[in-house]
């Protein structure tokens, strides 16, 4: 039984091009006790691969976290399969705001220690004891409440291109850092303020709200379904959209447009821009914000050095990366010293 993808990205792209059905991008998660993650992983891969599902799925003993694309023609079969799994029956699916057939090229189902890395000792608190869930309208009302504090539980490069009006946007690199920020900076408000949190699809706030209730925060709320579900409700119900800019996503789309506002700048020249790109140098791939003008002048690169390297063959570019620990620079997303305008702005 084949339990992993054997095709190259190029071969997968060709298969996607040949498909006659559009793809629906969606995400879902569920905190649940999974006794045998390995067996569950195999069951998922076999069935989802048969349905031609693509994307990333993380499984841990604490639950499941999935970002995937499903053929429109197979969507009913996909939902029926999920409903056949007891703890996923009628589970909420966050349907993406924008769709792109090549958002994912492969199906990857991986086992992790946690479905979201948080650094917490979950044995100390009840993960399912989450904060009160809010729909879009109630979230808007609390957002305007003077007794509320709204916290963006995402990372700096996510909130840089889009966030809710009045939101506190921690300048952090990881979800773990976000938790520390709230605990250290907002603990004085734990009894007299309403703490409302949001993230992309809800999974981070699910864990965070339970943790902060355990830490003594009295009035904890979370945006149900995150930014994705919020915008779907805004469109469906005609509710005022209080999100500014783009919603960053972790696939080839990189972002979904939520409002026309552009709240960020090109990291190379400072021009108003909210388009994330990856450096074209295979030995770099740094994620940063680049305007069309800089993209043209720099050949889709983050630095003059990378601009020279892309003239090498792809094989030689990859050789330059071997043995080097670039992950930290790449993970810092937009903090690299080579992004001079961005760095100078941070110092002012």
Alpha-carbon span 69 to 346, nearest angstrom: 37
Predicted local distance difference test score (pLDDT) of residue 319? 74
pTM over 0.85: yes
Q: What is the CA radius of gyration of the chain?
A: 21
Catalytic: which of 199, 273, 284, 291? 199
Predicted local distance difference test score (pLDDT) of residue 315? 78
Q: Which of 55, 57, 33 lies closest to 43 in space, CA to CA?
A: 57
Predicted local distance difference test score (pLDDT) of residue 344? 59
266, 288 Cβ separation under 8 angstroms = no
Active site residue 302: no
Alpha-carbon span 204 to 119, nearest angstrom: 12
Strand-by-strand arrangement of the 162-164 sheet: 162-164, 243-248, 255-257
Q: For the chain, which domains are there?
A: 18-111 (3.30.70.100), 122-232 (3.40.250.10), 276-347 (no CATH)
137, 239 Cβ separation under 8 angstroms = yes
Mean pLDDT, consecutive 10-residue segments, the chain of 348 residues? Answer: 69 88 96 95 95 96 96 97 97 95 94 92 85 97 96 96 97 92 94 96 95 95 97 96 97 95 95 95 88 96 91 77 54 69 56
Predicted local distance difference test score (pLDDT) of residue 11? 86
Overall residue count recorded for the chain in this entry: 348
Residue with tokens 């709240």: 263
Alpha-carbon span 35 to 326, nearest angstrom: 36
């Amino acid at each position: 039984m084949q339990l992993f993808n054997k095709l190259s990205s190029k071969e997968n792209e060709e298969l996607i091009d040949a498909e006659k059905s559009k793809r629906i991008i969606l995400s879902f998660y569920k905190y649940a006790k999974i006794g045998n993650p390995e067996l569950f992983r195999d069951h998922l891969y076999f069935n989802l691969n048969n349905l031609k599902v693509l994307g990333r799925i993380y499984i841990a003993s604490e639950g499941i976290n999935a970002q995937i694309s499903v053929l429109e023609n197979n969507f009913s079969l996909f939902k029926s399969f999920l409903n056949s799994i007891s703890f996923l029956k009628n589970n909420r699916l966050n349907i993406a705001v924008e769709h792109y057939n090549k958002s994912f090229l492969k199906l990857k189902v991986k086992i992790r220690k946690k479905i979201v890395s948080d650094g917490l000792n979950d044995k100390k608190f009840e993960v399912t004891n989450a904060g009160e869930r809010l729909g879009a309208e109630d979230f808007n009302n609390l957002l305007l409440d003077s007794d509320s504090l709204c916290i963006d539980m995402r990372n700096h490069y996510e909130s840089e291109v889009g966030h809710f009006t009045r939101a506190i946007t921690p300048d952090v690199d990881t979800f773990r850092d976000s938790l520390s920020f709230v605990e250290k900076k907002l603990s004085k408000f734990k009894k007299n303020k309403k703490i409302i949190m949001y993230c992309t699809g809800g999974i981070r706030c699910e864990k965070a709200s339970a943790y902060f209730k355990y830490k003594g925060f009295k009035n904890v709320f979370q945006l149900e379904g995150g930014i994705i579900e919020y915008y779907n409700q805004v469109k469906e119900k005609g509710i005022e959209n209080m999100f500014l800019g783009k919603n960053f996503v972790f696939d080839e789309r990189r972002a979904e447009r939520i409002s026309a506002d552009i709240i960020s700048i090109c990291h190379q020249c400072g021009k108003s821009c909210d388009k994330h790109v990856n450096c074209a140098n295979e030995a770099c791939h740094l994620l940063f914000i680049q305007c069309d003008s800089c993209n043209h002048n720099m050949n889709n690169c983050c630095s003059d050095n990378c601009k020279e390297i892309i003239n090498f063959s792809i094989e030689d570019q990859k050789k330059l990366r071997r043995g080097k620990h670039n992950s930290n620079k790449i993970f810092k997303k937009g903090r690299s010293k080579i992004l001079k305008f961005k760095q100078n702005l941070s110092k002012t």
